[in-house]
Structure 1
């Protein structure tokens, strides 16, 4: 089931399965900003990443001395058990609580809520994780929204670029075929200090994975039609930029944490960027998408 809210500027629709933002429409122009999940290319809109980002080394991880196999990107994505927790004029909240099913992959007692709020031309996505257990719990968290490129149908893909908030020199960590990362990096074709040109070839070797960017916001722009949207990700520690090489979209992915590195020791709490949450405590993080 899908649920929608709107204001005088934008309308959003969220799929209850996986709590994926499936539509973001500018009501002035009628333009749809979200990738429409063509299954022949990539059948998702905006997966929610919890409690891992990407893949685990050898597909498993050690938690409290036991081995667990957590699905790529975690237990929210494609999950049919999220409930519609609340809905009002300007926001929708979905919830997943731990169960015997979730504990087959991730053994902690938790409550996970994600809220999508519209405010003027902004969509703000809030994530709240509560530790219901008696010991610390560990997790990574991420967004994976895919935006249409081109937004204007007759623009070429390579007429688009990402303009970062500050000048950048970061290289990208290399994603191996098994989904793990290497400490080795590959160059990124930065232009004019803060411009990342988009091309299908840019993603021939999977995602760009950044762990040391200066910027905490980025604008998707067209050389023909100007700025299209902005993603603010203050507080998030890592960023992924990804598309299928044959996909007319780009994912701008705020992360806290990363996929396992190839030399990972396989212990969950030792993952880079892992969040430690004390018993009975809550953790809240958000990012903002602005239609320009």
Structure 2
């Protein structure tokens, strides 16, 4: 089931399963911005990543001396148990609370909420993580929205690029064959320091993972027709850029944390970027998509 919001500029819809952003339509042009989850290529549109990002090494981790098997990208993605918690004229909030089933995968009691707010040409996505346990809880958090490329019929994938807010010299960390992240950087084909041209070959070895960018906003642009949309992600510490090599989309993924790395050593508490939240406290983080 999908839930929708609309204003004078845009219409958006959210899948109740996984609370994924499934559609952004420009009401003037009728154009769709979000990848439409073709299952023959990649059957998602915008997974929500909690309490892990990516893969655990060997699919498992140790927490307080016990083994847990948290699925790839965590427990919100593809989850049919989210409820529509709040619906108003300009926002939708979805909620997932801990259960006996989640405790078998992840031993913390949480109340997770994600809100989509539609304001003029902006879609603002708010995350709230509440610790309802009697002990500190630890987690990573991430977003994974996929945008159509090419956006205009008749253009090619290679007509598009990502414009970073600042000039960058950062290298990319590699995603290893087991889905974890390596600890050695590889060069990035920057142009003019802040332009990343899009090609299908760019993703032949999975995502580009960044830990040390100075930019906190990225614009998706066409060399032919100009800017498409802008994402602002102030406060997020890591970034992934990804697509399937045969997929006509690009994911711009703000993260706090990473998949397992060699330094994790199978111990959850060693995961990079881990957020610690005290009992009774709430963690909040958001990002903003602006249609241009």
- TM-score (normalizing by structure 2): 0.99
Matched with 1:231 is 231
Q: State how many pairs are aligned.
A: 292
What secondary structure is seen at the aligned counterpart in 1 of 2:236? coil
- Contact 2:263 2:270 (C-alpha < 8 Å) held by counterparts: no
Following superposition, the deviation at residue 146 of structure 1 comes to 0.2
SS in 2 for 1:142: strand
Q: Deviations over 1:208-256 (max 9, x none)?
A: 0000001000000000010000000000000000000000000000000
Q: Deviations over 1:115-174 (max 9, x none)?
A: 000000000000000000111000000000000000102101000000000000111111
What's 1:77 paired with?
A: 77
Q: 2:120 corresponds to which residue?
A: 120
Single out whichever of 265-274 and 120-129 deviates more from structure 2.
Answer: 265-274
1:92-125 deviations in Å (ceiling 9; x for gaps):
0000000001111111111000000000000000
Aligned to 2:209: 209
Distance, in Å, in 1 between the alignment partners of 2:225 and 2:258 is 34
CA drift at 1:190: 0.2
Partner of 1:67: 67
**Corresponding residue number in structure 2 for 1:105:** 105
The CA deviation string for residues 72-106 of structure 1, in whole angstroms up to 9 with x for no partner, is 00000000000000100000000000000111111
Q: CA RMSD in A?
A: 0.6
| 1:8-157 alignment runs, 5 A limit | 8-157=8-157
> In the aligned structure 2, how far is the partner of 1:115 from the partner of 1:265?
34
Indicate whether 1:261 and 2:266 are aligned.
no
C-alpha separation between the residues in 2 aligned to 1:168 and 1:48?
Answer: 27
Q: Aligned partners of 2:28, 2:170: CA distance in 1, in Å?
A: 37
Unaligned runs of 5+ residues in structure 2 are: none
* Cα distance in structure 1, aligned partners of 2:261 and 2:270: 11
Whole-Å Cα distance in 2 between the matches of residues 275 and 117 of structure 1? 25
Q: 1:243-254 alignment to 2 at 5 Å? A: 243-254=243-254
For 2:176, the equivalent position in structure 1 comes to 176
* Contact 2:68 2:105 (8 Å CA) reproduced: yes
Secondary structure of the structure 1 residue equivalent to 2:105: coil
3-state DSSP class of the match of 1:196? strand
Q: Check whether the contact 2:264–2:272 (CA below 8 A) recurs between aligned residues.
A: no
Runs of 4+ more than 4 Å apart: none
For the residues of structure 1 that align with 2:149 and 2:88, how far apart are their CA atoms? 31
Q: Specify every segment of 5 or more residues in structure 1 that has no aligned partner in the other structure, as ranges.
A: none
Residue 262 (structure 1) shift:
2.6
